[in-house]
Copies of this chain bind each other. A is one copy, B any other.
Amino acid sequence: MTTKELERLKEVKGAKIVENMSVDELVKELRGCTFGAGRLAKAVDIYEEMLNEETTKFMGIAGALVPAGMRNIIAEMIREGYVDVVVTTGANLVHDIIEALGEHHYKMRGADTNADMAVDDTWLREQGSDRIYDLIVHDKAFARLEDFIRGVFEELTRKNKRYSIKELLKAIGETLSDRDSILRSAVDSEVPIFCPAIADSMIGLHAWIYKQTSPLEVDAFDDMKDLIDIFCEAKRTGAIILGGGVPKNFIFQTALVAPPREEGREGFDYAIQITTKTPEDGSLSGATLEEAKSWGKIGGKAKAVTVYCDATIALPIIVAAVRERIARGRQ
Contacts and interface: CB of A to CB of B under 8 A. Distances in A.
Interface of A: 1, 3, 5-6, 9-23, 26, 29-30, 32-40, 42, 62-64, 67-73, 76, 91, 99, 104-125, 127, 129-136, 165, 196-202, 204-205, 207-209, 211-212, 216-225, 228, 243, 245-246, 249-250, 253, 256-257, 276-285, 287-296, 300, 303-306, 308-314, 316-317, 319-320, 323-324, 327
Given A26-B317, A113-B304, A289-B114, A20 B324 contact: yes
B197 A131 contact: no
Nearest to A106: B9
A205 B252 CA distance: 12
A40 to B, nearest CB: 6
A33 B281 contact: no
Given A200-B253, A294-B124, A304-B113, A37 B312 contact: yes
Given A310-B280, A316-B26, A200 B250 contact: yes
Contacts of A250: 197, 199-200
A272 to B, nearest CB: 11
Given A197-B246, A199-B221, 8 more contacts: A16-B73, A26-B316, A35-B68, A63-B284, A114-B288, A122-B293, A198-B220, A216-B221
17 contacts: A11-B104, A15-B70, A19-B324, A30-B69, A33-B107, A33-B312, A35-B68, A63-B282, A112-B305, A116-B288, A133-B291, A196-B199, A204-B221, A204-B224, A212-B225, A218-B221, A276-B277
Contacts of A253: 200-202, 204-205
Contacts of A296: 125
Contact of A15 (B19, B69, B106, B130): B69
Contacts of A208: 221, 224-225, 228, 257
A31 B324 CA distance: 21
A70 B14 contact: yes
A107 B22 contact: no
Nearest to A276: B281
B281 A308 contact: yes
Contacts of A40: 313
Contacts of A17: 72-73, 76, 316, 319-320, 323
A125 B300 contact: yes
Which of A76, A110, A219, A225 is most buried by chain B, counting CB atoms within 10 A of its CB? A219
B277 A34 contact: no
Contact of A204 (B196, B278, B282, B291): B196
Nearest to A168: B220
Contacts of A131: 291, 294-295
Nearest 6 A/B pairs, CB to CB = A36-B310, A33-B69, A37-B312, A208-B224, A122-B300, A197-B197
Nearest to A291: B131
Which of A104, A256, A284 is most buried by chain B, counting CB atoms within 10 A of its CB? A284
Contacts of A219: 217-220
Contacts of A111: 34, 38-39, 42
